[in-house]
A = this chain, B = another copy of it.
Amino acid sequence: MRSLIDILDLSVEELDGLIQTALAIIDDPARFSQCCRGKQLAALFFEPSTRTRLSFESAMLALGGQVLSVTGAGGSSVSKGESIADTAKVVSCYADIIAMRHPQEGAALVAAENASIPVINAGDGGHCHPTQTLADLLTIYREKGRFTGLTVGICGDLKYGRTVHSLIGAMSRYEGTRFVLISPPELAVPDYVRAALRESGIPFSETASLEESLPGLDLLYMTRIQRERFDDLALYEALKDSYVLNEEKMKAAKADMCVLHPLPRVNEISVAVDKDPRACYFRQAFNGKIMRMALILKLLSEKEERRDSRRYVHHLHCKNARCISRTEQELPQAFYAVPGEGIFRCRYCDQEG
């Protein structure tokens, strides 16, 4: 049994396999419409994310499977103080595969290690959201026909943007990728991302100007800038419009540039841009469903366990208040050494110990 917690759990070859399956599904959905007959997906959404939940449920139903749905901690035994481990063990008695969204970082990993069925991380706090990255990758492949030699602009909140970090990690594995990181200095990528890029020798530049960056981009990945992120609201008001993509700015972009967005959008892309053929974000939502179908098929067919070749030390304590290791019953602390960095990170939330 395999689970998917972090996008990097999948090798480049496995990713290619998922994309080939996805293309086959798009080509002939009927061929796959009974693949999961008699199987049940438990969609455990302990925080609201309607889009992601519907995408998973729709994917399972399109494979001929069935769905058990849990939304909000309120309607959950979690509210009676049950541990993630127990929830995972019990749901394993009912369903064949779990998709879990949880506000605590590392929750999906704890579930995977206690469930007897595959677990898909549908978002664990600010930590990982691998199926969003699968949607991004299928969209890039379908729109550009390749993953290599692309200049990828990423705009908005690069500091807290979970999907941004996963996308950088995933695209860094392809030949000739260059990143243009577009954000106000307050929301630039964290140091460890910058360090990882330098270490693996991926060319990247950082800028505050969307307008100046546009002409050079093959892809533009837009994200939302949340006012809550700013101590200085005047500053927020001053710069927010410069990160809004509109028809005017689109004129400066290449004719074949792709605009992606994880959605939901608030106002960072003008509705007027939707009819521009370069606007890919709604096709991206469709691709998200298809990749989830491919992933469910893959995990239900996997026999082997999830690999974990890391060595752990247990003398440190995680400082991340949102880490599952803070609340989960009788869960031992565990940290791994980061090669080169000479530091240790929590195995659950990957925060420095």
Query: A residues within 8 Å of B by Cβ?
Result: 30, 33, 38, 40, 42, 45, 48-51, 54-55, 57-58, 61-62, 66, 68-72, 74-83, 85-86, 89-91, 93-95, 263-267, 270-272, 274, 282, 285-286, 288-289, 329-330
Selected from B40, B57, B271, B329, the residue in CB contact (under 8 A) with A58 is B40
A224 to chain B: closest residue by CB: B80
A68 touches B72 (CB 8 A): no
Using A38-B33, A50-B76, A58-B68 as known contacts, say yes or no to A330 and B271 having CB atoms under 8 A apart. yes
Using A61-B66, A75-B71 as known contacts, say yes or no to A89 and B266 having CB atoms under 8 A apart. no
A92 to chain B: closest residue by CB: B282
Contacts of A55 in B (CB 8 A): 94
Chain B min CB distance to A260 (Å): 14
Considering the chains assembled together, what is the distance between the CA atoms of A93 and B267 in angstroms? Answer: 21
A69 touches B69 (CB 8 A): yes
Considering the chains assembled together, what is the distance between the CA atoms of A93 and B288 in angstroms? Answer: 9
Selected from B77, B270, B271, the residue in CB contact (under 8 A) with A49 is B77
Contacts of A83 in B (CB 8 A): 271
Considering the chains assembled together, what is the distance between the CA atoms of A78 and B40 in angstroms? Answer: 28
- What 7 additional pairs, Cβ within 8 angstroms, besides A89-B274, A89-B285? A42-B54, A48-B75, A48-B79, A50-B70, A54-B68, A58-B94, A93-B285
